[in-house]
Amino acid sequence: MTRRILWTVGTTLALSVILAGCGSSPATSGASPSKTPQKLVFYSAQGYDQAEATAFQKATGIQVELSDMSTGPLLAKVMAEKQNPQWDVIWFDGNGAMASLDQQNMLLRGFTPSSASNYTSLGLSLLPPDHAYFPTGTTAAGAIAYNTKLVPPSEVPHTWTDLLNPFFKGAIGMNNPAISGPTYPLVAGIFQQMGVSQGMAFFQALKKNGLQIFATNGNTLQALENGTIKVAMFQDSAELNAKLSGASVSVVYPSDGVTLLPSDIAINAKAPDMAAAKEFVTWVLSKQGQKTMQDIQAAGSDSLFQPVTSVIQPLVTRPGVVWINVNPVWAGDHQQAWTTWFTNNVVR
């Protein structure tokens, strides 16, 4: 069901320069309660969105209308409504796309929910200077998962380029970055790590080695479990959940690094019910909201995120991972071009 960076000084400065030109609204401390709530319209690509909407509605009495979809269709819907937006809040994986929406003045800036005081140092490092969006957790955009029945110990890949091994010919899988939220950040992370031209050459070499493209995590995982493919790279929360559920799947974090992927929530700058939207974001970052995200029975693998607040503990640990810290503005600026390149040169 799933669809999911520490900023360097350079990243922070770059975004600050861009935002200085855009301007921002004054900071607000805490959410304003909805005195006469209408209906919170909530667009999301998260596995825990229904549980969160249900719990919030029960706690506040505010009616929630949830539109749940994959990230690609969600962003397409948001852009189609740009002149007349129908949504109050959006929530998906990947701060590159959020940074792009922010640069287009589509997100509310300067709001500070009272529950933002719960952020850890990781959470604060992922918070943009203008507070246009808020991290709610992190995962790895892509780790390597392999079928333990089909891949002997001697062939287990430990770097990204190990996937070019002829042993995996025709048996490698990944998601489509035009559809799957975590996959474009995976691509951008590899481009940042290897260099863009070398990263493009890597994906084209994977294609020559028989790379198969699937829509989202669930499709790729199914192909891995049934033996259609031997190895795959996709969001680690889905991989870890399969392993914990007893599937013949093991997970490797490549020694050359994996992309740290935040899930981010944002408010429409023209939200039809601004008060309800602020109340919802405040709720999500509260202890009750964070615990609702960890309801694995309701949310599935999306619950296996790394917390960015101090009010909860992780359900799984990720020790010894080398993280790739992708500049979200850089990734957002190139998303359309690089997704189109991937579609034309790898998917097709």
Which residue segments constitute the domains of the chain, with CATH numbers given? Answer: 9-139+262-321 (3.40.190.10), 140-259+338-347 (3.40.190.10)
Model confidence band, residue 37 (pLDDT cutoffs 50, 70, 90): low
Mean pLDDT of 306-328: 95
Q: 307: which 2 tokens?
A: 């917390």
User: Strand 258-267 to strand 133-140: parallel, antiparallel, or no bridges (unpaired)?
Assistant: antiparallel
Q: Give 299 or 222, the one with higher predicted confidence.
A: 222
Percent of the chain with pLDDT over 90: 86
* Residue (of 52, 138, 47, 115) closest to 89 by Cα position: 52
Q: 59: which 2 tokens?
A: 């706690």
Does residue 282 have a pLDDT over 50?
yes
| Per-residue pLDDT tens over the stretch 233-249 | 999 999 999 999 999 99
Model confidence band, residue 181 (pLDDT cutoffs 50, 70, 90): confident
| Per-residue pLDDT tens over the stretch 195-213 | 999 999 999 999 999 999 9
Does residue 31 have a pLDDT over 80?
no
Picking from 5-9, 183-187, 269-273, 341-345, which range would have the lowest pLDDT averaged per residue? 5-9
| Per-residue pLDDT tens over the stretch 211-237 | 999 999 999 999 999 999 999 999 999
